């Protein structure tokens, strides 16, 4: 049983989207903006709830949203740079006559990948209960499964500040290849790391993973939404290839510097090895 139900005579739907980074987006299907909880839920034209489905079982509910890029604060830059991929969404009903935020919760969910189709976007998501459908458990392999720079219990424990640098671009080849001539670190130091811009047109967009680093030249797997420019400042975090050798000597040059926190199992035999039938004498 729900603790509160919106008055069916004045019932409207409202959606709150919390992106991975940046400010939340507030939407309503009411013809006018609604102010509640200190937030203004926009009724701006250009989007619509295309569907909501739920069952009485444990299968996840689904939420679909589509609209015109640039309307209601959902910009092409934010969609193109993936700010809404994995965003949290909260759908609830309330009365437009006396709106109350989260008055009648309908579902809380996670968006999947947002898709741009010309000037339109489509975003689909599932409710948080979908976590019950996910397989859990630890997988053993040669590579370390830990998140690099994580500081939680049994985490990587490599310090964040010591592996974060800042700088300014000195040349730009494309939206995914640029250079800072002041960078003198060894090749691949920042491979598998991330870079984000703190000035210029890409400031505020999500960090992108670095494909390669050599001689100050930085190449990312994906292009930035806007073309970077010479003089743009950035913040870059070192990456980790998840190998035992990285933990042994990559971070401060001393042997076994972080092996105690290495989570991989490089010496476990493969299935073809331990499944062999023994040979008789």
Per-residue pLDDT tens for 204-228? 888 999 999 999 999 999 999 899 9
pLDDT confidence of 258, banded at 50, 70, 90? Answer: confident
Answer yes or no: do 49 and 119 share one domain. Answer: yes
pLDDT confidence of 136, banded at 50, 70, 90? Answer: low
Average pLDDT over residues 140-158: 86
Burial (Cβ within 10 Å: 0-12, 13-18, ≥19) of residue 36: middle
pLDDT confidence of 281, banded at 50, 70, 90? Answer: low
pLDDT tens digit sequence for 109-133: 888 878 877 777 888 777 777 766 7
Token pair recorded at residue 96: 């437009």
- Does some domain include residue 228? yes
Percent of the chain with pLDDT over 70: 84
CA 120 from centroid of its chain's CA atoms: 21
Percent of the chain with pLDDT over 90: 33
Answer yes or no: do 12 and 120 share one domain. Answer: yes
**Predicted pLDDT of residue 253:** 47
Instruction: Indicate which CATH number applies to the domain containing 167.
Output: 2.40.30
- Does some domain include residue 263? no
Q: Tell me: pLDDT of 108 over 80.
A: yes
Put simply, whether the predicted model's pTM sits higher than 0.75 gets the answer no
Question: Which residues span the domain enclosing 180?
Answer: 161-239
CB 151 within 8 A of CB 131: no
Answer yes or no: do 114 and 182 share one domain. Answer: no
HEC profile of 55-111? CCCCCCCEEEEEEECCHHHCCHHHHHCCCCCCCEEEEEEEECCCCCCCCEEEEEEEE
**Predicted pLDDT of residue 129:** 73
- For the chain, the domain total comes to 2
Instruction: Indicate which CATH number applies to the domain containing 39.
Output: 2.30.110
């Amino acid at each position: 049983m729900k603790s509160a139900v919106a008055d069916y005579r004045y019932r409207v739907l409202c959606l709150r989207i919390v992106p991975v980074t940046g400010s939340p987006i507030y939407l309503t299907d009411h013809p006018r903006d609604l102010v509640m909880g200190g937030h203004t839920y926009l009724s701006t034209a250009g989007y619509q709830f295309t569907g909501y489905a739920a069952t009485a079982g444990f299968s996840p509910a689904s939420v679909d949203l589509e609209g015109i890029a640039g309307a209601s604060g959902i910009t092409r830059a934010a969609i193109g740079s993936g700010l809404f991929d994995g965003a949290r969404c909260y759908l609830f009903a309330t009365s437009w006559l006396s709106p109350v935020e989260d008055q009648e919760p309908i579902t809380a969910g996670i968006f999947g990948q947002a898709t741009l189709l010309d000037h339109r976007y489509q975003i689909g998501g599932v409710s948080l209960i979908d976590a019950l459908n996910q397989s859990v458990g630890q997988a053993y392999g040669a590579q370390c499964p830990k998140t690099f720079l994580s500081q939680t219990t049994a985490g990587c424990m490599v310090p964040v500040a010591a592996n974060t640098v800042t700088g300014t671009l000195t040349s730009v080849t494309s939206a995914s290849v640029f250079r800072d001539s002041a960078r003198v670190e060894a090749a691949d130091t920042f491979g598998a790391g991330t870079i984000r811009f703190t000035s210029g047109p890409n400031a505020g967009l999500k960090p992108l993973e670095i494909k390669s680093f050599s001689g100050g030249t930085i190449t990312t797997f994906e292009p930035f939404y806007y073309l970077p420019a010479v003089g743009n400042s950035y913040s870059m975090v070192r990456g980790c290839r998840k190998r035992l050798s990285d933990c042994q000597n990559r971070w401060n040059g001393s042997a076994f510097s972080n092996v105690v926190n290495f989570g991989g199992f490089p010496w476990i035999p493969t299935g073809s090895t331990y499944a062999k039938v023994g040979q008789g004498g």
